[in-house]
Amino acid sequence: MRTICRVLPIVGVVFASCLCAHAVTLDMSFDADVKVTSAYLWRGSVISDDWCIQPSLTASGKGVSLYLWGTWDLTGATNGSERTRMDADLSYTYEYKKLMMRGGFIGYVYKDSLVTAWQKDTFEAYIGCDVDVPTFPSWTLYYDFGEIEGFYTTIGLRHSFPLDNGKGWAYALDMRADLGAADENYNDKRFSLPFDAAAGELPYEPRASLVDFTGTISLPISIGEHFTLTPAVKYMALIDAKIKEAVENAGQDTEGSAYSVTIGASF
């Protein structure tokens, strides 16, 4: 499976390159971003509290999208193999009135010498929907059918407030809030962390529960027709008391914040 996961992003890059050559006839769009962030936060975990660079590329058309994303630690930490990751996401979106229904597959590719199941190369399938009404509610259900074999789901709200500085710039204030939850098996693989029995610490007993809260505020600024500059701040915190205790016992953070700047281009 690891070989397949490593090949998947390469196939994705080749696929995206071929699509670029036929973008006009296929009526496709392309988006490329480069984010520099002060921390890497993901699904209740502070993966890295150091500066990272996170580039991405999206090719989409006729409801089909290919999304490639990566993260690299800029500090060169020697023991942070889980901090380097590449995702390849192939999805399809169908719109019906105010509903946007989507589904797809994600391949996660990590650096070698990993120590836990959720830091190994794996796959997820997902389904979800968004509703085009105020606060734009969304729901996504993920199933990891590789290393974890468990479910993780998110529900979210977001809203954009258009702003005008009187100088003709197009920019807005975007706000987003998400709650994450997982089943017993997913939490077992993610949060059954090392503990110190001699100090009276108890092992984590996995259960289905709410896992984390994430809030994001961003200020996308349009530069001309094709480029954007987006400063943002993100806050993430664990919710479940037992998960928080397990993470604290392992000497890890139960909450974190990140400041970032993203430069994007759309064609």
Domains, the chain, with CATH or none: 2-266 (2.40.160.40)
- Return the pLDDT at 23: 44
Q: φ, ψ for residue 21 (rounded to 5)? A: -70, -20
pTM for this model (two decimals): 0.85
* Alpha carbon separation from 189 to 143, 145, 248 (Å, rounded): 13, 13, 16
- Return the pLDDT at 110: 82
- At 96-127, the pLDDT tens digits run 999 999 999 999 998 754 455 567 889 999 99
Three-state DSSP at 5 gives: helix
Q: Find how far residue 260's CA is from the centre of its chain.
A: 14
- At 15-72, the pLDDT tens digits run 444 444 444 445 789 999 999 999 999 999 998 888 999 999 999 999 999 999 999 9
Q: Find how far residue 95's CA is from the centre of its chain.
A: 23
E strand intervals along the chain: 29-37, 40-42, 45-48, 52-61, 64-73, 85-96, 99-110, 122-131, 138-144, 150-163, 171-182, 209-218, 221-223, 227-238, 255-266
